[in-house]
Amino acid sequence: MNYLTVNDIDNLPEWVEEARSIKQDPLKFKELGKYKTIGLLFFNPSLRTRLSTQKAAQNLGMNSMVMNFDKEGWALEFEDGTIMNQGKPEHIKEAAQVISQFCDIIAIRAFASLEDKSKDQDEMVLNGFAKYATVPIVNMESSVGHPLQAMADAITLAEHVNKKKAKPKVVLSWAPHPKALPHAVANSFVQMMQKQDAEFVITHPEGYELDKKITGDSMIEYDQKKAFKNADFIYTKNWSAFKDYGKVINKDPLWMIDTEKMALTNNAKFMHCLPVRRNVVVGDAVLDSSNSLVIEQANNRTFSAQIVLKKILEEMDLIK
Ligand code: CP
């Protein structure tokens, strides 16, 4: 079993319940991963993903090996049939097979370049490892998705949803940012929300439409204030344009999340995957308010990773 996208979750409510139960007793399955090793390969920086995935592995009794591939590894060639007489001394074919001999699971972080849409959509790094590794692969944020973040978000939503209300209203709101950011978090959040029984609305300025193949029939409301009305959860994230690929076409500060906008909601909880730029994406007063769930979301990254690793380890045991 690989965990490459949110679509690898076969039953979201069951996974969320199991993750919440693991949260109550994180060491319950500490024997499951004994003598097994996870290799965490980072082609990009991380705080939460690196520490929470290591923590999850540790809770399951696993060893972890971390490699900052961008700084420590040989630059990898991913194209087939290349004459490798330029800067890249190692091919993914050998690298993935070699790492598979040292690790029982390989987890990979490799962001979108935001330069070559077609290469990013092909998930060259993640799929390269999935193709040539001989062990399960976990996506720790790829060009297109961040399914460990989405699983943590699902756990956080379940913990804070008002059970008396039939369907919570959840809004994914774009917010301004000085730099071009990838679509991965927003994409996986959309895919996760499509598996939820909720009223789900995406709001962003015109031109910031996400990949239609991902948003499908999800509702898009270009008027942010209208979208916020009666919302129970505001999930905020910046992303660059998808159509005008990787471009920052709008930095309008009026899209920042502030207390005035939150006042339009049904006393909504505020969510963000972090890291977040204060007073650019969201105002201090919202981020520091008791309605902000960002620290809890980050905490739930451990139990998101733990449920994923547990499922993979259990399947390995079955196959043995
Ligand atoms: N949310 C998230 O993935 O954080 P890091 O980039 O710090 O891992």
Does the beta carbon of 141 lie inside 6 Å of ligand 1?
yes
Give 185-231 pLDDT, tens digit per residue.
999 999 999 999 999 999 999 999 999 999 999 999 999 999 999 99
Does the beta carbon of 48 lie inside 6 Å of ligand 1?
yes
pLDDT of 181 strictly over 80: yes
Q: How far is CA 250 from CA 84, 171, 241, in A?
A: 40, 20, 9
pLDDT band at 318 (very low <50, low <70, confident <90, very high): confident
Q: Which residue is closest in CA terms to ligand 1's atom 4?
A: 48
Does the beta carbon of 49 lie inside 6 Å of ligand 1?
yes
Instruction: Give residue 317's pLDDT.
Output: 83
Q: What is the whole-number distance in angstroms between the Cα of residue 274 and the centre of ligand 1?
A: 6
Q: What is the whole-number distance in angstroms between the Cα of residue 222 and the centre of ligand 1?
A: 27
Q: What's the chain's average pLDDT? A: 97
**Rounded to whole angstroms, how far apart are CA atoms 313 and 89?**
33
Q: What is the whole-number distance in angstroms between the Cα of residue 183 and the centre of ligand 1?
A: 14
Walk me through the domains of the chain, giving residue ranges and CATH numbers.
Answer: 6-145+301-319 (3.40.50.1370), 147-297 (3.40.50.1370)
Mutational test site, ligand 1, from 40, 138, 141, max ligand atoms within 8 Å of CB: 141
Mean of pLDDT values over 16-33:
98
Q: Which atom of ligand 1 is nearest to the CA of 49?
A: 8
pTM value? 0.97
pLDDT of 316 strictly over 80: yes
Q: What is the whole-number distance in angstroms between the Cα of residue 275 and the centre of ligand 1?
A: 7
pLDDT band at 319 (very low <50, low <70, confident <90, very high): confident
Does the beta carbon of 47 lie inside 6 Å of ligand 1?
yes
